[in-house]
Amino acid sequence: MTNLGYFTLDTLDIDKARAFYGALFGWTFDPDASKPTYAHVADSNPPFGFSKVERARDFTNLYFRVDDIAAVCARISELGGKAAIPSESPSGLGAVVCDDQGVSFSLWQPAPGF
């Protein structure tokens, strides 16, 4: 079974998002997992954070945790969807994909230790 691995919320201003959601929900942010364009919410389950974007969107970015991102991307293509080439980050491999109706979501293959 594949589960939600993590998600991100888009924001135009990382500092404002930290202040707003920190005050609203009492969230704290992990400085080691954060950077200028990403604020990771500490001790969240599933893990999530805020991503800086140039244009605001009104939906979250869902990342489904998979064991073999290349195989899942290939299967998406077989089923009529589309998959980007996976990109690498310290937390593992990620790819933006869409189903056969154009609905986008993402895949995440965690790096060892995540």
> What per-residue confidence (pLDDT) applies to 80?
94
CA distances from 77 to 1, 42, 53 (A): 20, 35, 27
Spatial contact of 28 and 70, defined as CB atoms under 8 Å apart = no
Query: Vertex 56, ends 108 and 45: CA angle to 5°?
Result: 40
> What per-residue confidence (pLDDT) applies to 86?
96
* 47 burial level (CB within 10 Å; 0-12, 13-18, 19+): buried
pLDDT, averaged per 10 consecutive residues of the chain (114 residues), comes to: 86 91 92 93 93 82 92 95 94 93 90 88
CA–CA dist 78, 20 (Å, integer): 42
> What per-residue confidence (pLDDT) applies to 101?
84
What pTM, to 2 d.p., does this model score?
A: 0.74
> What per-residue confidence (pLDDT) applies to 57?
73
Taking phi first (over 0 means left), then psi (-120 to 50 degrees means alpha), and beta for anything else, what does residue 92 get? left
